[in-house]
């Protein structure tokens, strides 16, 4: 690969990882599963986007708000259409009334499909998860820029978040 091709591939893979974080936080499952190869292994002998979507739906219904912040990203291009990588992520997760911080490393395998980079495999590895003393979702509204602290409007104002929780009776209580 030329230097330019390598730089473009790495930039595209970084965008793939960023799109994953945003789609997951917004509960945009259609976008989320489209980031994976069509025949992705979705667990327990299942493959494909439909099985992966079902898995994400099930997992994400067990938590409330999530905030994924990706940082360090090592990418190793193993060919013009194949790569592996390690992505570090700091996550904040609503777990009922608790607010959890996690330090995560994703071990990824990527490939280019029809010109676009996709996840072949994404392994979630945890350094730690720890409860934080104050659940920020219990704060009064921030009313930015009047107050610098308080509850904001995201993700509840995202249309995909609203659609995900439209038929979820538990969401009315969060």
DSSP string over 63-126: ---EEEEEEEEEEEEEETTEEEEEEEEEEEEEETTEEEEEEEEEEEEEEEETTEEEEEEEEEEE
- Architecture of the CATH domain 3-137: Roll (3.10)
Q: Which two tokens mark 123?
A: 């392994």
**Residue range 60-72: mean pLDDT, rounded:** 96
pLDDT at 172 over 60: no
Query: Per residue in 109-140, pLDDT tens?
Result: 999 999 999 999 999 999 999 998 888 888 88
Contact 40, 47 (CB under 8 A): yes
The percent of residues above 70 in pLDDT, for the chain, comes to 95
Give the CA dihedral 28, 161, 104, 97, nearest 10 degrees.
-160
Calpha distance 36→62 (Å, rounded): 22
**Residue range 43-68: mean pLDDT, rounded:** 95
Higher pLDDT, 146 or 37: 37
pLDDT at 173 over 90: no
| Cα-based distances in Å from 108 to 36, 125, 161 | 11, 11, 26
Higher pLDDT, 124 or 152: 124
What value does the mean pLDDT of the chain take?
92
**Residue range 28-43: mean pLDDT, rounded:** 96
**What are the boundaries of each domain within the chain?**
3-137
**Residue range 79-85: mean pLDDT, rounded:** 97
Give 103-109 contacts, CB < 8 A, sequence gap 24+. 103/127, 103/128, 106/17, 108/17, 108/84, 109/83, 109/84
């Amino acid at each position: 690969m030329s230097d330019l091709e390598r730089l473009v591939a790495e930039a595209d893979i970084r965008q793939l990882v960023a799109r994953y974080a945003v789609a997951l936080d917004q509960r945009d499952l259609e976008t989320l599963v489209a980031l994976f190869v069509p025949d992705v292994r979705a667990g327990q002998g299942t493959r494909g986007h439909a099985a992966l979507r079902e898995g994400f739906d099930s997992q994400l219904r067990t938590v409330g708000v999530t905030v994924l912040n990706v940082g360090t990203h090592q990418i190793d291009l193993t060919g013009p259409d194949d790569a592996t990588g390690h992505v570090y992520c700091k996550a904040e997760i609503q777990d009922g009334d608790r607010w959890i911080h996690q330090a995560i490393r994703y071990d990824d395998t990527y490939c280019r499909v029809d010109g676009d980079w996709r996840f072949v495999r994404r392994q979630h590895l945890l350094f730690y998860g720890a409860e934080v003393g104050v659940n920020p979702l219990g704060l009064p509204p921030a009313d930015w820029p009047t107050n610098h602290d308080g509850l904001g409007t995201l993700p509840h104002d995202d249309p995909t978040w609203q659609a995900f929780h439209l038929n979820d009776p538990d969401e009315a209580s969060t």
